[in-house]
Structure 1
Amino acid sequence: MIHKLRKKFIFINLGIVTLFLFCVLASVWLSSFHHLKAEALNVLRRTLNLERMTPPPKLEPPKKEPGHFPPLMTVFAVEISPDGSWETVYESGTQASASLIENAINAAKKTGTSEGNLRRLSLRFMARPNAEKLRIAFIDTTFAIASLRNLFFTCLLILAGSVLILSAISYFLAKWALRPAENAWNRQQQFVADASHELKTPLTVILANLRILLSHKEDSIASQECWIKNTQSEAESMKNLVEELLFLARSDANLASVPKSAQNLSDLTWNTLLLFEPVAYEQGVTISENIMPDLMVFADSEQIRRLLTILLDNACKYAEGEKHVTLNLSCQRDTIFLTVKNTGKQIPADELPLLFERFYRSDKSRTKSGYGLGLSIAQAIAQAHHGKISVESTKETTSFTVTLPLIKQKNIMKSRES
């Protein structure tokens, strides 16, 4: 899909730029064509308006400049008597032969028009009756044709070279512009694959338990209680996974649209911490806290509780050594800092950015349980509340810090009044 999208991007971009460049070059060529044509017609008009000159004026030698030799433009005019005889009344540039003049007169008469272009002779003419005689002026168009031909091939080369250069530029631009879409597509593919894998395991266990139960149809439910409980446990695990997947799907859609109101983050933190102390006690983890009172945030209380639960559960689960967890809630200026720190082994620096990836679990230190979605959900909640989450790890501790914008009392009163 990304490959097709990249090709489509290149073709569209190249087509638009090529069409624009073609129009510009075509305009240049047409402008030059009309300019040379207008110049030739002006010369012919002036020639027709000249009085009879006998003998014809001598042409002054052109001024030569270094590297430039201007061509001589042949211009001549003839007067034709009623009996068909003709005589040259004006001539400039290279002298025209009698046969050329004769052929030019005959070709001009055959056109039946007062002006035109004699392509076979490379001449342009203009005729005007003068008393009893017909005067026809001719100008050589060889130089104009050669100039237009050279300009045409030059424009063609410019167009071809530009297309090649633009193709290369469009290719790299397409790769650069579509890199976010490609990364998103790859993450989506990986997400679907990981989700399918995680769902497959409990389903396999459930189906295996059901096959065992079906193979002992004559047994009572009490005798098969272990298989039923195992099935229930796997079903609940799968239910939790589906709920987490739905939450992340909603966060991708637009979690920021969830209704929010002014909440006392200090009270929410205390309540969540009190509910979590029995869990920590069972795991042999001690918790210490330092919570600044009356810190207000504009948030959804359920999501904030879920964020706190994820961080505390994650800290207790991976606490080692002294098994100590510290929770700090403080404020600096207009920013609230929520930090959850636990003792334990250091997480490698190259793994820290990956902790918030969906289904990521380190093979070395973070494979105890769960599906690897908790920190992804925590990050989604923080971002939905215009905050962010970061992680630091040393040889003895690992800490997760969430920053949220503080709302002041005057802003709270305004939101309540509205």
Structure 2
Amino acid sequence: MFTKLRNKFLLLNLSVTSGVIILAFGFVYFITYSNLQADIRERLRARPEAQMRVASAESMAGRPEEQGGVQSAVRNVVANGAGTFQVEVDEDGRIVRIESAVNLPEDVYRELAAIAWSNRDTDKVITADNREWRYAVSPIRIQVVGEDGVPLAVEQHNYNILFLDVTEMNGTLARLLATLLLVGIGTLVVIAAVSLYFANRAIRPIREAWEKQKQFVADASHELKTPLSIIRANCDALAASREDTIQNQMKWIEYIRAGADRMARLVQDLLILARTDDERAGPNPVRFNISQVVDRVARSMEAAAAGKGLSVTRSVEPDLIASGDPDGISQVAAILLDNAIKYANPDGWIALSLARSGRRIVFSITNSGPGIAKEDLPRVFDRFFRADRSRAHQDGSYGLGLSIAQSIIRRHGSEIRVRSEENAATTFSFSLAAGSPSASRIE
């Protein structure tokens, strides 16, 4: 399931990225292509001075040797265009004259002229002599003038085919396309790797939450099985003695009540967890006297500590004002103190401290005892986790207290920290933002 989710996320990211890259690179290629084609068309465009010649009436009557001026004009045009040549052909496509700025064999000129003349109405590329050529065919017009220089007529005379070498231009386009493809593929590979990394990071908390949820359901089901089994077994015992009096059946009823009470405590803890896990329903912060809250909790548990022979030392700085939920903090203090009493060794000690440190108020509680193994420390706040599994359910708890305490403190923007030394002591601590001293006290 998570692999499919990751792959969908990866595919979506790559699709969007590929689309953007294709559009960007396509735009670059299109602009470059358009500019090169415009340059080619500009260089092939017929020039009036090349296509309009001036000749006298006598020369038109059959003295071509007097047309030297025309040849000069054509040579000048060709000389101004590197990689070009032009061929003058008659109306039947026979070559009349070749003016070239490139050195090609004569048969190549004739081949190119024949192809261009037969395809004069198209705009195609001709390949010859390992070069690529574009061409333009245009008629040559001759302005006839009389002896006195007065224009007499304009006549069409032959055709001019201008050839342009576009090998380098097409090569530039091909190299640009190859570069864009290479860069695009490389970019997609890098983006795919980065996307895969971040997709795995994005999926990891979802996977962990899912695994925790599965473990939570399994643990909750396991914890519910014990009181349900007790209730069912005692109901069977009652059903087997239907004729007996209620007085004689009271022990079975008490067992049923004990099982129901355990289930009620478990359900209550689960409801508390559900409320504290909802981060949107954070506490409405108020300023309260946390010193009085902690003192009240400590006094309420003096009897439990004394019953176990524990020495309790309290160091509570008076009139400390915190900002948060007083009921939630009272519950956290009770959970941590109850946990310290349960896991302290008999005739051991507990040290409770509440003091201001800069802009924070720090609560800590330390108890002597067997401590917590290093491999168990990362899991002490997991639901239903109990480091001392041999004592499971002996104290009537389900291993949810620390999870509830951690959830409450997280809603206050802090964390409960734990440090432990095996066969020595364990310390739980957290800190809260200090409030203004003008806050009202909670009695």
Q: Deviations over 1:123-142 (max 9, x none)?
A: 43334444213433232444
State the 1:101 CA deviation.
0.3
Task: Identify the range of structure 1 (311-320 vs 172-181) with the bigger mean alpha-carbon deviation.
Answer: 172-181
Alignment partner of 1:316 is 2:341: yes
2:420 is matched with 393
Asked whether the 8 Å contact 1:108–1:118 carries over to 2, the reply is no
For 2:323, what is the secondary structure of its paired residue?
strand
User: Is 1:98 the equivalent of 2:110?
Assistant: yes
1:31 aligns with 2:31: yes
**Residue of structure 2 in register with 1:222 after alignment:** 247
Q: Which residue of 2 aligns with 1:272?
A: 297
Of 145-154 and 180-189, the range deviating more from structure 2:
145-154
Deviations 1:314-372 (A, max 9, x none): 11111104232222222233222222221111322332232112221114687454211
Q: Which residue of 1 aligns with 2:5?
A: 5
CA distance in 2, matches of 1:92, 1:222: 126
Q: Give the Cα separation in 2 of the matches to 1:365 and 1:289.
A: 30
Give the stretch that moved more between structures: 381-390 or 156-165.
156-165
AA at the equivalent of 1:6: R
RMSD: 3.1
Letter paired with 1:75: T
Contact 1:10 1:170 in 2 (8 A): yes
Relative to structure 1, the CA distance from residue 349 to residue 25 in structure 2 (aligned partners, 3 Å threshold; closer, same or farther) is same
SS at the partner of 2:345?
coil
Give 1:244 shift. 1.3
1:16 aligned onto 2:16 = yes
Q: Aligned AA for 1:234?
A: G
Partner of 2:120: 108
Q: SS where residue 242 of structure 2 aligns?
A: coil
Q: Deviations over 1:216-238 (max 9, x none)?
A: 22222222212211111111111
Report the Cα offset of residue 46 of structure 1: 6.8
What TM-score comes out, normalization by structure 1 length?
0.83
Task: Give the 3 Å change call, closer, same or farther, for CA 83–303 of structure 1 in structure 2.
Answer: closer
**Where do residues 98-177 of structure 1 align in structure 2 (5 Å cutoff)?**
98-109=110-121, 111=122, 116-118=123-125, 123-131=133-141, 132-133=156-157, 134-177=159-202
Task: Give the 5 Å matches for 1:241-390.
Answer: 241-254=266-279, 257-363=282-388, 367=392, 369=395, 370-390=397-417
Read off the aligned partner of 2:424 and give its amino acid letter.
E
Answer whether contact 2:310 2:346 (CA < 8 A) is retained: no
How many residue pairs align between the two structures? 397
Q: Give 5+ residue unaligned stretches, structure 2.
A: 52-69, 142-155
TM-score, reference length from structure 2: 0.79
In 2, the alpha carbon distance for the partners of 1:186 and 1:120 equals 67
How far 1:81 sits from its partner (Å)? 4.5
> CA separation of 1:269/1:163 partners in 2, compared to 1, >3 Å: closer, same or farther?
closer
2:418/2:427 contact within 8 Å kept: yes
User: Deviation at 1:213?
Assistant: 2.0
Cα deviation per residue 1:233-265 (whole Å; 9 max; x = unaligned)? 111111111121122122221275333422221
* Structure 1 consecutive aligned stretches of length 4 or more whose deviation exceeds 6 Å: 57-60
SS in 2 for 1:337: strand
Give the structure 2 partner of residue 68 of structure 1.
none
Change (3 A) 1:366 1:328: farther
Question: Structure 2 CA distance, aligned partners of 1:393 and 1:263?
Answer: 31
> What's the % identity of the aligned pairs?
32
Please name the residue that 1:77 is paired with: 86
Q: Deviations over 1:35-60 (max 9, x none)?
A: 32122222213767547545858999
Larger displacement relative to structure 2 (159-168 or 15-24)? 159-168
Q: Distance in 2 between matches of 1:393 and 1:346?
A: 6
- 1:286-312 Cα distance to aligned partner (Å, 9 max, x none): 323222221122233322221121111
- Which deviates more, 50-59 or 266-275? 50-59
